[in-house]
Structure 1
Amino acid sequence: MKVHFIQHESFEAPGAYLEWAMARGYQVSFSKVYEYQPLPDEHAIQNLDLLVILGGPQSPSTMQTECPYFDSQAEQTVLKRAIDAGKAVVGACLGAQLIGEALGAAYEHSPEREIGNFPIRLNRQGLDDPLLSHFGESTVVGHWHNDMPGLTPNTQILATSAGCPRQIVKYSALVYGFQCHPELTLDVVRQLIAAQANLVEQSQQHHFVQHPDEILLYDYREMNEKLWLFLDRLIEAYRQTTQN
């Protein structure tokens, strides 16, 4: 299996996504756009199996005049090509929003800012989804966002939270968007906290923003394990489509 990551910032690291790929012995490659590394071209897209597009402080509407290394339209083109080619695609936070944009669904602002670890609830469609059923009706995952992905006419909302009505969405059988961050590890959290301005003050102003000390005390292993099983199931579903 060949897994390619599009990474927007050093501190928005792949965390448990990368740990999973390495543990499985999969071939891993990166487009670290903050280092001006190129996005995969059409040939590279055809040769990959799973595309994971990570989060970042940008939004899909961020212009290159604001962030020179972030080309939203170019990334959307890559995503659309990967989806059209039948590849497995997972978007995390900004990545989920970019998937929606690539499919014609505009992202929106979330009702609440969420930073920290809070429960998400799977609805009936989520509990019935063969890739996500092991998450259970409610599970705590990481959050670090202000926005949420747009919805196409065929998008299924699989999970929500008290602060955001679109936590996990399914665009098609092999394409999922996670507004939440089950990939967070303690190392990634340390990087995010270091890059987040005024987090202590934000925790006093926003109901769904935790104090950094509380975020650092959390044990991330359970959410990581649930993400790993989802990814294993996604790869199995992908293998089945390539064998047919």
Structure 2
Amino acid sequence: MRVHWLQHAAEDGLGCIAPWLAQRGHRVTHTAMFRGDPLPPRDDFDALLIMGGSMNVDQEAQYPWLRDEKRFIADVLADAGKRVFGICLGAQLIAEQCGAWVGRNAQPEVGWWDIELTDAGCAFAPMADWPARVPMFHWHGDTFELPPGAQRLAFSQACAQQAFVLDQGRVLAVQFHPEVTSDSVRVWLQHPDSHPSPGPFVQSVERMRDDEAGFARANQLLHSLLDRWLVSA
């Protein structure tokens, strides 16, 4: 499988997805949007992964490359032969390009918080190994409405939209971060402007950073999902 991924900042990589792709022998290419890398022709890949980032979908003046990326995502979404998976900012970009509102969540959600699967989430075959309620790592202040025709797969106490699927599973988006590792979070925490304001859904640095069992569990669940999703859509 030819997999291409979009990167929005140097500190926002693939996390645990990188070794998963290597172990399964997928051919991987990527575009660093923040560096001005060119986007590939649509025929050059079979699946697109859109990763997270600290910017918002409406910050095109500050990040002009967002305009090109949005056109590219819309073009790929229109191709029924492509699989598309978005995480956090990636999910918001997919939602926007599918006609949904994207904006501020009532509260920032940062740290380990439970997500709960909906009935559709429990029935979604790629998530067959996922418990109905499980802690996942979050780092976002924005959210999105459910795009027309989408099925909501998960929610949390702080955020009603945590995951959705479109086109019989071909397009998948999650607001949380199942890909992050403890190393990922340590890199994020090194940025002085990355620390969110205190709030009811913002955890301490130690609680976010040191849950090795939580990272391992989330990564394993993501690998299970990707093993099924990449061949089932």
**Identical pairs, percent:** 30
Other-structure match for 2:66: 72
Task: Determine if contact 1:119/1:140 at 8 Å carries over to the other structure.
Answer: yes
Shift of 1:195: 2.1
1:123 maps to a residue whose letter is T
Q: In the aligned structure 2, how far is the partner of 1:196 from the partner of 1:182?
A: 23
| Partner residue in 1 for 2:14 | 14
Per-residue deviation, residues 81-140 of structure 1 (Å, max 9, x unmatched):
222222110011111011111122221322221111111000111101111232111011
Q: Residue 241 of structure 1 aligns with which residue?
A: none
Select the residue among 158, 166, 170 that pairs with 2:165.
Answer: 170
User: 2: CA distance between counterparts of 1:136 and 1:15?
Assistant: 22
Q: Distance in 1 between matches of 2:62 and 2:75?
A: 26
Classify the secondary structure of the residue corresponding to 1:3: strand
Match of 1:214 in 2: 207
Name the SS of the counterpart of 2:37 in structure 1: coil
Residue 135 of structure 1: aligned partner? 130
Output the amino acid matched with 2:45: L
Secondary structure (helix, strand or coil) at the match of 2:129 reads helix
> Which residue does 1:55 correspond to in 2?
52
Aligned to 1:45: 42
SS at match of 2:218: helix
* Whole-Å separation in 2 of the counterparts to 1:21 and 1:39: 20
The answer to whether residue 26 in structure 2 is matched with residue 3 in structure 1 is no
**2:224 pairs with one of 220, 225, 229:** 229
Q: Which runs of 5+ in 1 are unaligned?
A: 239-244
Q: When the two structures are aligned, how many residues end up with a matched partner?
A: 229
Aligned to 2:179: 183
CA distance in 2, matches of 1:133, 1:96: 21
Distance across 2 between alignment mates of 1:53 and 1:146 = 18
Q: Which residue of 1 aligns with 2:75?
A: 81
- The answer as to whether partners of 1:16 and 1:185 remain within 8 angstroms in 2 is yes
Amino acid at match of 1:50: A
Q: 2:104–2:142: 8 Å Cα contact kept in structure 1?
A: yes
1:8 and 1:120 mapped to 2: Cα distance? 25
Contact 2:98 / 2:148 at 8 angstroms: preserved in 1? no
CA distance in structure 2 between the partners assigned to 1:81 and 1:198 by the alignment: 32
Partner Cα separation in structure 2 for residue 198 and residue 93 of structure 1: 15
Give per-residue Cα distances to partners, 1:132-185, cap 9 Å, x unaligned.
232111011110101123322211111001110011111222101110000011
Runs of 4+ in 1 over 3 A off after TM superposition: none
TM-superposed deviation, 1:198: 6.6
Q: Distance in 1 between matches of 2:37 and 2:115?
A: 34
Give the Cα–Cα distance (whole angstroms) in 2 for the partners of residues 134 and 39 of structure 1: 34
Matches of 1:198 and 1:26, distance apart in 2: 33
Counterpart CA distance in 2 for 1:170 and 1:106 is 16
TM-score, normalised by the number of residues in structure 1: 0.89
User: Within 2, Cα distance between the matches of 1:66 and 1:232?
Assistant: 36
Please tell me whether the aligned partners of residues 11 and 195 of structure 1 are also in contact (alpha carbons under 8 angstroms): no
SS in 2 for 1:112: strand
